[in-house]
Amino acid sequence: MKPSVPDYIGCIECGMEFKLSPNQRTHFRQGKRDLFCCKAHSLIWAVENASKKRRETFEERFWAQKEIDEDGCWLWTGNTDRRGYGILSVPGKKYNQKAHRVAYELTHGDFQKDLLVCHECDKPGCINPKCLWLGTGMDNMVDRDRKGRHGRAKITIKQVHGIRSSTEDALILAKKYGISRTSVYAIRNGVVWKNI
């Protein structure tokens, strides 16, 4: 059974009673009650009420894009790059920014752009300010080594030293360490594991 629709209704802008058009009757049936006697009153009401609506700030929109995991990390729910770091467009910035760097800046203010924003939790998608700290590239590598984390590395630092000091053929070393011959050359030539 269709809800009953009145023939006349009061304009919400001026209060004058007017007859509903077929379109307005449909809108009324759909629950829309902001009906006007004329287009001018509709526009006046829209302009006056647009200024009353509070727009969310960038910061409010930013912090809303998180999910809290069981460890208390705030995982970014927006766009991410291939490595799992949150990325977003920031007003006034030319390029996309990393979400954890934005989180640090929103919490602590400006910082030297040549410094890294590192994760205590080792979760690239985390934006919890309690998990973030500033450091140099070297600080980050020391933290990585202290935690025994070497990304996707198949070998240890000790094995890197062994490969570099060895005079054995690259194919023999590759089989010995379970890596490719190309990786052996890259380690010996300092293309990878540059910091060692």
pLDDT confidence of 127, banded at 50, 70, 90? Answer: very high
pLDDT surpassing 60 at residue 152: no
pLDDT surpassing 80 at residue 1: no
In the chain, domain spans: 8-50, 58-146, 150-196
Instruction: Name the token pair of 190.
Output: 């300092």
Q: Give yes or no for a contact between 6 and 20, defined as CB atoms under 8 angstroms apart.
A: yes
Q: Give yes or no for a contact between 152 and 144, defined as CB atoms under 8 angstroms apart.
A: no
Q: Write out the CATH class of domain 58-146.
A: alpha beta
CB count in 10 Å sphere of residue 119: 20
Instruction: Give 64-117 pLDDT, tens digit per residue.
Output: 999 998 889 999 999 988 888 999 999 888 889 999 999 999 999 999 999 999
- Neighbouring-strand partners of residue 72: none
Q: What CA–CA distances, in Å, run from 186 to 12, 20, 148, 157, 193?
A: 74, 78, 22, 14, 9
CB count in 10 Å sphere of residue 41: 17
pLDDT at 129: 96
The per-residue DSSP string of the chain comes to -PPP--SEEE-TTT--EEEPPHHHHHHHHTT-----SSHHHHHHHHHHHHTTSPPPPHHHHHHTSEEE-TTS-EEE-S-B-TTS-BEE--TT-SS-EEHHHHHHHHHH----TTSEEEESS--TTB--GGGEEEE-HHHHHHHHHHTT--TT-SS-HHHHHHHHH--S-HHHHHHHHTS-HHHHHHHHTTSSSTT-
pLDDT confidence of 62, banded at 50, 70, 90? Answer: very high
pLDDT surpassing 60 at residue 63: yes
Instruction: Give 4-41 pLDDT, tens digit per residue.
Output: 778 888 877 777 888 878 877 777 777 776 677 787 87
pLDDT at 128: 96
